């Protein structure tokens, strides 16, 4: 199987998207290699605008996203992202299926980072694991927490309980939060 086809399948790309090029790059004398994958859309493709109309690209913008590592090698996706002219004065960028708008990371990368955080891994440790700056991981975390909070319905909540424990010599502190629509087991 051809390399580009293999990566297209691995990235779960569907028409009109396809991998057109891939290469390993050696960074300086550090012996660190990066995998770079270029994605493009089929010539003549049309895209659905936010208004629901099927349009041909007006122009394209080159974008790059950090993806999950390829084995131990950092991986980056590059693509020409179409922009659509929706009316005389309005231009919008097509939403690519592998990343959210203005993220800089693929959805799989963000899901992996959030899964590590969900397992109570500190953000600094997550950043070291994925070889990114902690500030960028915090940005991912804040986005998904904000989105979750927007969709959270707390209408039936009457009480919130917090149980915090700590260890004397260690700096480990854990908090357990219970949200109940009724009382707590001890009757309070």
pLDDT > 70 in the chain, percent: 87
pLDDT > 90 in the chain, percent: 67
| Domain shared by 59 and 6, yes or no | yes
| Domain shared by 69 and 147, yes or no | no
Four-point Cα dihedral 125, 130, 72, 18, nearest 10:
160
| Domain shared by 126 and 70, yes or no | no
| Domain shared by 89 and 6, yes or no | yes
Tens digit of each residue's pLDDT (9 = 90 or more) over 130-143: 999 999 999 999 99
**Which residues, listed in sequence order, are joined to residue 76 by a DSSP beta bridge?**
36, 66
Residue 135, H or E segment: helix 134-150
Tens digit of each residue's pLDDT (9 = 90 or more) over 158-179: 777 777 666 555 556 666 666 6
| Domain shared by 94 and 111, yes or no | no
| Residues 73/33, Cβ–Cβ less than 8 Å | yes
**Domain around 139:** 107-181
| Domain shared by 45 and 92, yes or no | yes
| Domain shared by 2 and 73, yes or no | yes
Specify the number of domains making up the chain.
2
DSSP code for 96:
P
């Amino acid at each position: 199987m051809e390399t580009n086809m293999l990566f297209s399948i691995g990235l779960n790309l569907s028409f009109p998207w396809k991998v057109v090029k891939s290469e390993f790059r050696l960074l300086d004398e550090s012996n660190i290699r990066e995998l770079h994958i270029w994605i493009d859309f089929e010539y003549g493709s049309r895209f659905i605008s936010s208004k629901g109309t099927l349009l041909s690209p007006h122009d394209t913008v080159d974008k790059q996203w950090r993806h999950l590592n390829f084995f131990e090698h950092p991986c980056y996706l590059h693509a020409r992202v179409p922009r659509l002219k929706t009316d005389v004065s309005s231009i919008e960028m097509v939403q690519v299926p592998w990343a959210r708008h203005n993220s800089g990371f693929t959805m799989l990368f963000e899901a992996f980072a959030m899964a590590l955080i969900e397992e109570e891994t500190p953000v600094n440790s997550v950043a070291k694991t994925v070889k990114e700056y902690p500030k960028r991981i915090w940005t991912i975390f804040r986005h998904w927490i904000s989105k979750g909070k927007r969709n959270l319905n707390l209408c039936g909540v009457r009480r919130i309980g917090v149980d915090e424990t700590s260890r004397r010599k260690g700096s480990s502190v854990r908090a357990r939060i219970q949200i109940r629509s009724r009382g707590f087991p001890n009757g309070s």
